[in-house]
Chain A
Amino acid sequence: MSEDVDAAIRTVFRAEWGKVVAGLIRITGDWALAEDCVQDAFAAAARRWPLDGVPASPGAWLTTTARNRALDRLRRSAVEARKLEEVLAMQHDPEPAAEIEDDRLRLVFTCCHPALPLEARVALTLRTLCGLTVAEIGRAFGASEAAMAKRLVRARAKIDHAGIPYVVPEADALPERLTGVLAVLYLLFTEGYAPHEGEEVVRPPLSEEAIRLTRLVAALLPREPEVRGLLALELLHDARRPARTGADGVPVPLDEQDRSRWDRERIAEGSALLAALDPASDGPYTLQARIAFEHDRAPADALTDRAAIAALYGRLARLTPSPFVELARAVAVSLADGPDAGLALLAPLERDRRLGYQLAATRADLLRRAGRDAAARAAYDEALAAVSNAAERAFLERRRAELG
């Protein structure tokens, strides 16, 4: 029985935390107060619900409890008298559901505001929207709890001092601000994609949080196709998670993964999202999702539609020109049309220093596949002279040695 209540509290926490915090921030304007009071409300739920049973409307119970807690705290502080009046005024106003949904959307845009440092945006999103504790966020990003707490305090101070608003941006600023929100969600997803060692897994990985938040934003902004493109990208990558690491914890490359372990439900969902989008208006996340889908739908690596992937990289390169995309395109083209076609695309990149050792490493791989061993050896030496990452170095040395 008590286990059922524990499970209910966990479910409610995940579903309601962001909503309750968002509402309380709107009413009090005080981020730290809102988070503390919602935390208290969940602690009260953990004490009360096993005795009284789970209330019929857990979200409303938590909102009321958190609001009363905020009232209590404000009453004790004379300088907060004005805020108190506002909260009291809200007490008996039943809020329309649309307003509550808007609260969370406001919260997303404020947490992801470009006037905040990127790492603060990520931390704030995880704290206020997902309800991760400061210690949990610190662990996820290799920072101490104290350092992470300081970062959050600093971010809330900037919101207050600089007047970062708690609003959904005006229509003309919405597209580019949304790009910033998607960047934070994608960063959360990619950070969460790498499993963390040595920690008992109490919560789902960050990638789960990222997918949950992206679903939320997609539901709140149904007219923005790139949000659904990002959701598809996350689902189609996450589908491979069960096969991405071997029994020994070593990453398994895509072409060696056991495809029977891929999550078919996620692939089906991602595929359905992509099918409903008009390819003519594909943004960069949607294009990357279409590339991921080409891999996911192939029954075996050898059966991948390489030409389709090369064409998608062509579209991505035209949409977001960058040497990194161009490098990925060269690899895709080499797989579709042979190593020489890929090498031809590398030539214009030779003077771009941003690519570092990756350019020589890619050239080495294509030359090796073209059977030009002497040139490949020279390229491996060039890459080895510039590489700093130990795992990459080991990989390049192995390839170099195979050439003799």
Chain B
Amino acid sequence: MDDIVIQVENFTKKYGDFTAVDEISFVVSKGEVFGLLGPNGAGKTSTLESLEGLRSVDEGKLLVAGVDPAKDGRQLRNKIGVQLQSSGLPDSITVSEAMKLFSAYHSVPVDEDLIDRLGLREKVDTQYFQLSTGQKRRLSLALAITHRPPVLILDEPTAGLDVPSRKELHKMIGELKNKGTTVLLATHDMSEAENLADRIAILLDGKIAATGTPMEVTAKGEGQTKVSVRVEGTSLDGSVEFPRVSQAITKDEYRIYFSTDIGPTVSAIIAHVQAEGDRLIDLRVERPSLEDRFLEITHNGEVQ
């Protein structure tokens, strides 16, 4: 329990009669990357903003690094770093001014190394509105981590980034995690969550629809595993049936089987090919992705 850095307990957030977040609970441990996923309006931003101390809590309990965000905003400031979805900076502020300003308010010196590592050195005198989307995101991250907070909250950190910038940002998040920073990540990008998050929670209509490691969440779905097989001969032609296969199709030179349980299916295919004296050229297994599971949950409206 000592390792718990973020605690959300029966948290409810309402706007008038509308319940944006409905009694959700989760915990995030030290050094963990926790992904908060969900469609628009699922309650992600309300949750994040309440943890950041920007919104009041209607019911339940929130704790971030031992601090109640609603009650002790001043203490919270040095415990969290936040990369907001929207700019949050004046158009005419330069990179250097922004770094100096935010560092000064956190009472830390400007981290010159951070400016270099995030590739902002050449842009230090450039005004915010003249930066590209990627540069803005990198500056936003630099400002969020300049005071080395133990908790980092990222809201759609890679939205609008090109592939190299995205990769660089993922690398940085990985490094922060390795140094013990706890990261709460809200994203629409399933592959990002799959790659970065140790655990995830999928929010749907203000409730947690699924939670666990990305693998666990994916495995709970009804999606079928795709087994694609290519052989030299004709052993898989015709209507050979294999266990746990619900559907089989042929595409290009591959015979594709949709299996509900890949163990028996793959064993049977290999045994059949060998028994027929044929040669296996290629065999690929594609599990349902987190994205498939996410679509399944949002489509079915599943809630835990």
Q: Decide if A and B are genuine partners.
A: no
